[in-house]
Amino acid sequence: MKITFYGHASLGITVGGKKIIVDPYITANELAKHIDINELEADYILVTHAHGDHILDVEAIAKNTGAVIVSNAEIAGYYENKGFKVHPMNHGGSWQFDFGKVKYVNAIHSSSFPDGTYGGNQGGFVIEGEHKNIYIAGDTALTYDMKLIPLRTKLDLAILPIGSNFTMDVDDAIIASDFLECDKILGYHYDTFGYIKINHEEAKRKFYDKDKDLMLLEIGESIEL
């Protein structure tokens, strides 16, 4: 499994021979100017919730690629009405896709579209690939529900928001890492706006001091699991 960070909460995942884009917010991100969304390949686009900083480039990428948009029923319905291919899910449900199994799980946040349309309840995704399992938290507070995830899935990586203000901060992400029984964390949802700027070295050191590994990728950088 290969994971590429496209800035903010935007990810590219290659798994089981398929390409997945998660929460694409690239064209308005000053820090991601070197990423051209027209060059992104996608068989699927996973959307955690309907906020503008997670859906901005969904339609453009779906048009370019013909990707299937996977999200909660309300977000999937919104895009289906616009003629896009979708796969609706809801909390606690799993689906065996051709690249692996995806479960839509709880997050504590909100989820209306920028135009005010109801975007259902926000979530995160657990992806069980052929060899590795990951959790993409989406925008969320620290929540006890994270303890449910390792009861079913042994995680190899957890992707957690760490920017605070709208989501968990670094210290809560460390507790989340305990709840998830996963010491390998990729941080996201930081630095994009003034509200969520963080000190990278301090964040990494806090994880290191708890014998955990916090990875902060350059925008466009990839890791291989």
Q: Which is nearer to Mn ion, 9 or 40 (CB)?
A: 9
Residues numbered 129 to 158 that lie near Mn ion (CB under 5 A) are: 139
For residue 38, the minimal CB distance to Ni ion (Å) is 25
Q: Which is nearer to Mn ion, 74 or 139 (CB)?
A: 139
Provide the edge-to-edge strand list for the sheet that holds 94-96.
94-96, 101-106, 123-128, 133-136, 157-161, 184-188, 213-215
SS3 196: helix
How far does Cα 76 stand from its chain's mean position? Answer: 16
| Closest-approach residue to Ni ion (CB) | 51
CA–CA dist 175, 117 (Å, integer): 33
SS3 37: helix
For residue 189, the minimal CB distance to Mn ion (Å) is 6
For residue 106, the minimal CB distance to Ni ion (Å) is 15
Q: Which is nearer to Ni ion, 43 or 53 (CB)?
A: 53
| Stretch 12-51: interaction string toward Ni ion, x if CB under 5 A | ---------------------------------------x
Element (H, E) at 19: strand 18-22
CA–CA dist 28, 52 (Å, integer): 10
Q: Which is nearer to Mn ion, 1 or 142 (CB)?
A: 142
Could you tell me the end-to-end alpha-carbon distance of the chain, in angstroms, rounded to an integer?
5
Of 74, 128, 139, 172, the residue at the interface with Ni ion (CB under 5 A) is 139
What the block records as the tokens of 190 is 């930081």
Residue 74 binding: pick among Ni ion, Mn ion, none (C-beta 5-8 Å cut-off by kind): none
Q: Which is nearer to Mn ion, 128 or 139 (CB)?
A: 139
Is residue 8 involved in binding Ni ion (CB under 5 A)? no
| Interface region with Ni ion, contact rule CB under 5 A, candidates 80-88, 92-100, 113-121, 137-145 | 137-145
DSSP secondary structure letter of residue 184: E
Region for 26 from its dihedrals, namely left if φ exceeds 0, alpha if ψ lies in -120 to 50, beta otherwise = alpha
> What are the residues binding Ni ion (CB under 5 A)?
51, 139
- Residues in touch with Mn ion (CB under 5 A): 53, 139
